């Protein structure tokens, strides 16, 4: 069974279970937000809209998450350091700490495979990228799967080579490292809407287009707040404004899907533990096993 035929569960802004209210606002934010954030209350409000997950990496892995959506940044103003952090409005934990947490899980579960999608970089020049890439290599070593034709990457292939990690790197330096897959092999079309019906229609449309590309594919089942959404619901935050109300409808859509090259490959959501995504996705993968059984 090819990895792009399976149905995997992913998390959106996977690292955002913890953000640092005491750190400066990240370089991914507009200048006006940075100025406003000098007021401590503004950072508390930002946190309500920046946090999209409750579970740590370890808890997500134990809960069935296998795809991780990662945004990273240097911390401008840090003297004499090249440390790279996760970021979503506010700075999260060091990337190194997150990678080590994942590697510990993989060491305990040698048949598990994960996808790490480094898709946004902020305040990083080539020297920062070299530093981060070397950290990735140090963390996972021989667990890293070198770039191959997507069609060739099966579970059996991964197990035979003792590979467990596919890294997708949306920056030109990926060409210099055999273990960095180009970002183009992990398209993740974004609906950019607050309307759940428009979101589900978008997911349907992009799935229909998926098979022609021969890649992995992310269905982002996420609703994105607009400025006016945040302004109207400042204190309520993302979870209480958009996620709680709409996740059951999104889960119902997931239940009607199927795995396979014409179906869903990876689905991401905010606050993945709020509904029974994991059990639903695992049950849908059982359909592949049924298809794979030889006829008697």
Range list of H helices, the chain: 31-36, 40-50, 57-62, 95-108, 126-140, 155-161, 196-210, 227-232, 237-238, 244-255, 277-292
The catalytic residue positions are 12, 88
Residue 32 reports pLDDT greater than 90: no
Q: Per residue in 93-111, pLDDT tens? A: 999 999 999 999 999 999 9
- Cβ within 8 Å of residue 257, ≥6 positions away: 7, 263, 264, 284
Please report which confidence band the pLDDT of residue 293 belongs to, taking 50, 70 and 90 as the band edges.
low
Domain enclosing residue 282, as ranges: 3-292
The overall average pLDDT reported for the chain is: 92
284: domain CATH number?
3.20.20.190
DSSP classification of residue 144: B
Residue 296 reports pLDDT greater than 60: no
Average pLDDT over residues 135-140: 98
Q: Per residue in 165-206, pLDDT tens? A: 999 999 999 999 999 999 999 999 999 999 999 999 999 999
Higher model confidence: residue 291 or residue 50?
50
Residue 281 reports pLDDT greater than 50: yes
Residue 227 reports pLDDT greater than 90: no
Average pLDDT over residues 129-156: 96
Average pLDDT over residues 18-36: 83
Average pLDDT over residues 147-158: 93
Cα 54-56-60 angle, rounded to 5 deg: 90
Please state the domain count of the chain. 1
Residue 294 reports pLDDT greater than 60: no
Q: What is the pLDDT of residue 114?
A: 98
For 61, 150, 209, 210, 257, the CA distances from 215, given in Å and listed in that order, are 23, 6, 11, 8, 19
Q: pTM of the entire structure?
A: 0.94
The position carrying tokens 């993968």 is 285
User: CA–CA separation, 35 vs 40, rounded Å?
Assistant: 11
The answer to whether residues 6 and 289 touch, using CB atoms and an 8 Å cutoff, is no
Q: What is the pLDDT of residue 292?
A: 61
Q: What's the burial of 228, exposed, middle or buried (CB within 10 Å: 0-12/13-18/19+)?
A: exposed
Tell me which H or E stretch contains 90: strand 90-94
Using only C-alpha atoms, what is the Rg of the chain?
A: 19
User: CA–CA separation, 100 vs 105, rounded Å?
Assistant: 9
Residue 121 reports pLDDT greater than 90: yes
Higher model confidence: residue 231 or residue 54?
54
Residue 33 reports pLDDT greater than 80: no
Read off φ and ψ for residue 31, nearest 5 degrees.
Answer: -60, -40
Q: What is the pLDDT of residue 34?
A: 72
Higher model confidence: residue 257 or residue 209?
257
Q: What is the pLDDT of residue 30?
A: 78
Residue 11 reports pLDDT greater than 80: yes
């Amino acid at each position: 069974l090819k990895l792009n035929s399976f149905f995997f569960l992913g998390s959106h802004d996977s690292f955002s279970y913890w953000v640092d209210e005491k750190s400066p606002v990240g370089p991914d934010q507009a200048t006006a937000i940075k100025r406003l954030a000098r007021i401590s209350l503004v950072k508390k409000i930002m946190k309500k809209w920046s946090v999209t997950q409750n579970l740590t990496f370890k808890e997500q892995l134990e809960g069935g998450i296998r795809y991780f959506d990662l945004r990273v940044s240097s911390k401008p103003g840090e003297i004499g350091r090249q440390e790279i952090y996760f970021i979503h409005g506010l700075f999260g934990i060091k990337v190194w700490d997150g990678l080590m947490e994942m590697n510990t899980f993989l060491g305990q579960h040698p048949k598990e495979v994960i996808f790490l999608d480094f898709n946004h970089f902020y305040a990083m020049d080539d020297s920062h990228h070299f530093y981060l890439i070397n950290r990735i290599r140090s963390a996972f070593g021989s667990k890293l799967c070198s770039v191959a034709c997507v069609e060739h990457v099966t579970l059996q292939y991964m197990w035979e080579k003792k590979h467990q990690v596919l890294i997708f790197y949306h920056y030109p330096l990926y060409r210099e490292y055999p273990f960095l897959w180009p970002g183009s092999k992990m398209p993740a079309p974004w609906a950019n809407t607050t309307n759940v019906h428009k979101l589900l229609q978008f997911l349907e449309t992009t799935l229909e287009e998926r098979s022609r590309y021969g890649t992995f594919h992310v269905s982002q089942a996420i609703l994105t707040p607009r400025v006016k959404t945040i302004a109207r619901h400042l204190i309520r935050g993302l979870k209480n404004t958009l996620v709680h109300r709409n996740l059951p409808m999104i889960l119902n859509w997931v239940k009607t899907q199927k795995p396979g090259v014409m179906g869903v490959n990876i689905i991401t959501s905010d606050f993945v533990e709020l509904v029974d995504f994991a059990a639903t996705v695992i049950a849908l993968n059982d359909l592949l096993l049924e298809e794979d059984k030889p006829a008697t």
